[in-house]
Amino acid sequence: METDETESLYHCPIQECDHDGLQSKRGCRKHVNTKHSGFFYFDEKPNSKEITDSRNVPTQVNPIQDPPTETAKHAVKLLPSFPLSCDIGEVFTKWLTGSGDGRKKDRAAQQIVTRCCKFLRFCCEDEEELTFDVVDFSLCSKNSLFKFIDYLQDECKLGHGGRLGYIDAISEMIDFRKLHGASDGVFRKFSATELYLKRAQKTVAEMVRLQWTQDLDIETLEARGHSATMEELLEVVKFHLPRYENTVRIFK
């Protein structure tokens, strides 16, 4: 990964790439990972004519849940939301990024606030303004919480990981509200909501584990045309073995 001294741009290490350059190392790594993923596995570019096209091989339907598609992501983006620039949204963002509270990076904090604002709008779609009364009502309503999670799965077709992200965001908002003037009655109801959130997190996490187990199952890989023979696996081990032994020797 090299940088241009005059333009301060990071250029793609692939000589055949005609990209003008990227502004950061992270952007360059993402470009290589997206456009030239074979760079990490092959010394030379593979001959595409010698690679069997496996796209026509029938795939096995995952009975647990199919991976999220672009349509699912688009459906989630279209969910109604309270404006992030409202007073509560700005205070919540500041709390998340504060050194003594959330300590989140700006991008992660923005994502959490966005998810929470969509959840709050889902629970109180008739409210014109986001107030702490709306926040308390939504966070204390287990029925609204379960309906929202089911809606993300059934209507938006959001995957397990995406739903976990929304559950974690709601948990962050509960912590924020606890530290910003929640009454004793609301505080007690938060305990019940947190219990339901923990159970939901455990359930969804288990579904993620089951999906990964099935996706990496030999029969599933064979049905998708992605399985490798034992001889091919041994060739991969031989290729990486010297580097592995060298790394172990260095850090002993």
**Three-state DSSP class for residue 19:** coil
Please state whether 193 falls in left (phi above 0), alpha (psi between -120 and 50) or beta: alpha
Residue type, 242: P
**Which phi and psi (to 5°) does residue 3 adopt?**
-115, 145
Q: pLDDT truncated to tens, each residue of the chain (252 aa)?
A: 555 555 567 778 776 677 777 778 777 877 777 777 666 666 666 565 555 554 444 444 444 444 455 566 667 778 899 999 999 999 999 999 887 655 788 888 999 999 999 999 999 988 989 999 999 999 998 889 889 988 988 888 888 888 888 999 999 999 998 888 778 888 888 888 888 888 888 888 888 777 777 766 767 766 777 666 777 777 888 888 888 888 888 887
Angle of the 184-215 helix axis to the 160-178 helix axis, nearest 10: 160
Tell me if 194 sits within 8 A of 48, measured CB to CB.
Answer: no
Q: Residue 11: enclosing H or E segment and its boundaries?
A: strand 10-11
DSSP per-residue string spanning 34-85? HH-GGGGT-SS---GGGS---TTSPPPP-SS-PPP-HHHHHHHHTS----TT
Q: Note the pTM of the prediction, 2 decimals.
A: 0.57
